[in-house]
């Protein structure tokens, strides 16, 4: 099973240049000083954040090989998020560990809830899955099996209707899903399709993009950067960049599946040392303003 932190800040006024620069400095500091041997990905801020009332938005995948490491890495990234929250103190914040709400303590910053707090506020995965099943029934008329994962494609002409249905719902991962749909509409790449998948060992329904190449569909992940393993330099992507989902999250597929990766995905050189990054990427467009 794979886990991630999700975070959104809303405010009526956009980020100032000073705030934007300070946020980038905080993120770069924590990415460069990351103390653990295993890393799933850098602290990620979506490039499309400062739009409408959402001025800061992102998610960071967590290493899931060990429970203790999962907790320690989560706490580390929450310290990063706390510094950003102090900076953007006049915002309405939503922070979750997957579907579990993270609590902001004015003395210590972002933290996990106690057992008592958790029992009162958590929403089980089955509620998210139940809501997703209803969306599949309404919007999808065909089931695909891609690399062992049940996949349901949403027709592009129904994205607005889907957005509205999720917006008025009480889905546990609502904010995350809405941000994702909004972004896909903004970038408007013909080869990228919105899909509902039943993945992670058949435990969780989720919204992810699929990329169509040579008349076949492939699960992908949208990336705004990657860290070079050789020099530890965070590489920032200034274009709409895809990574095969298998390389982004090995827990996504069944254990016995090694998927085909289209040849258009290639390793690219590090922006600092010039050595090839350890994952394959595909640039498909220019980021929206």
Average pLDDT, the chain: 86
> What is the pLDDT, as a whole number, of residue 4?
86
Same structural domain for residues 139 and 257? yes
What confidence category does residue 208 fall into, taking pLDDT thresholds of 50, 70 and 90?
A: very high
Residues 279 and 197 in one domain: yes
Residues 65 and 174 in one domain: no
**Residue 66 half-sphere exposure toward CB, CA atoms < 13 A:** 8
Whether residue 231 is found in the same domain as residue 113? no
| Helix-, strand-, coil-residue percentages of the chain, each rounded to 5 | 30, 35, 35
Q: What is the pLDDT of residues 122-161, one digit of tens each?
A: 444 566 678 888 899 999 988 899 998 999 999 999 999 9
What pLDDT, on the 0 to 100 scale, is given for residue 192? 97
CATH number for the domain including 11?
3.30.70
Rg of the Cα atoms in the chain: 19
- Which of 121, 145, 166 is the C-terminal boundary of a domain? 121
68/136 same-domain check: no
Domain shared by 142 and 275, yes or no: yes
Q: Are 169 and 201 members of one domain?
A: yes
**Residues 134 and 246 grouped into a single domain:** yes
Task: Tell me how far apart the terminal alpha carbons of the chain are, to the nearest angstrom.
Answer: 35
Number of structural domains (the chain) is 2
Residue 48: which domain range? 3-121
Specify whether 145 is located in the same domain as 278: yes
Write out pLDDT tens, residues 42-98. Answer: 999 887 545 568 899 888 988 866 778 888 999 999 999 999 999 998 898 989 887
Helix axes 17-32, 67-87, angle to 10 degrees: 160
* pLDDT score, position 33: 93
Nearest to 39 by CA among 80, 70, 67: 70
Last residue of a domain, one of 92, 121, 150: 121
* Predicted pLDDT at 123: 45
| Same domain? 147 vs 116 | no
| Nearest-angstrom CA–CA distance, 57 and 44 | 9
Whether residue 104 sits in one domain with residue 130: no
Chosen domain end from 121, 148, 170? 121
Same-domain check for residues 129 and 116: no
Closest CA to 142 of 204, 210, 196, 75: 196
């Amino acid at each position: 099973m794979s886990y991630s932190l999700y975070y959104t800040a809303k405010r009526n006024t956009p980020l100032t240049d000073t705030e934007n620069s300070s946020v980038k400095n905080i993120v770069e500091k924590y990415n460069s000083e990351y103390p653990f041997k295993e890393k799933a990905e850098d602290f990620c801020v979506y490039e499309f954040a400062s739009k409408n009332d959402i001025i800061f938005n992102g998610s960071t995948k967590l290493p899931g090989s060990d429970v203790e490491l999962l907790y320690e890495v989560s706490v580390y990234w929450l310290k990063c998020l706390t510094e950003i929250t102090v900076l953007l103190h006049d915002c309405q914040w939503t922070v979750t560990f997957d579907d579990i709400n993270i609590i902001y303590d004015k003395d210590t910053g972002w933290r996990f809830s106690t057992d008592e707090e958790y029992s009162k506020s958590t929403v089980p995965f089955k509620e998210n899955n139940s809501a997703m099943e209803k969306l599949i029934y309404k919007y999808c008329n065909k089931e695909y099996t891609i690399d062992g994962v049940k996949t349901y494609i949403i027709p592009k002409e129904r994205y607005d209707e889907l957005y509205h249905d999720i917006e008025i719902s009480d889905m546990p991962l609502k904010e995350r899903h809405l941000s994702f749909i909004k972004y896909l509409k903004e970038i408007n790449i013909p080869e990228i399709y919105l899909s509902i998948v039943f993945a992670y060992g058949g435990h969780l329904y989720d919204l992810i993009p699929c990329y169509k190449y040579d008349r076949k569909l492939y699960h992908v992940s949208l990336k705004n950067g990657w860290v070079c393993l050789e020099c530890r330099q965070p590489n920032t992507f200034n274009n709409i960049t895809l990574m095969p989902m298998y390389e982004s999250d090995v827990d996504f597929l069944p254990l016995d599946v090694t998927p085909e990766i289209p040849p258009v995905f290639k390793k690219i050189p590090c922006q600092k040392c010039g050595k090839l990054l350890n994952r394959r990427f595909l640039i498909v467009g220019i980021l929206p303003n």
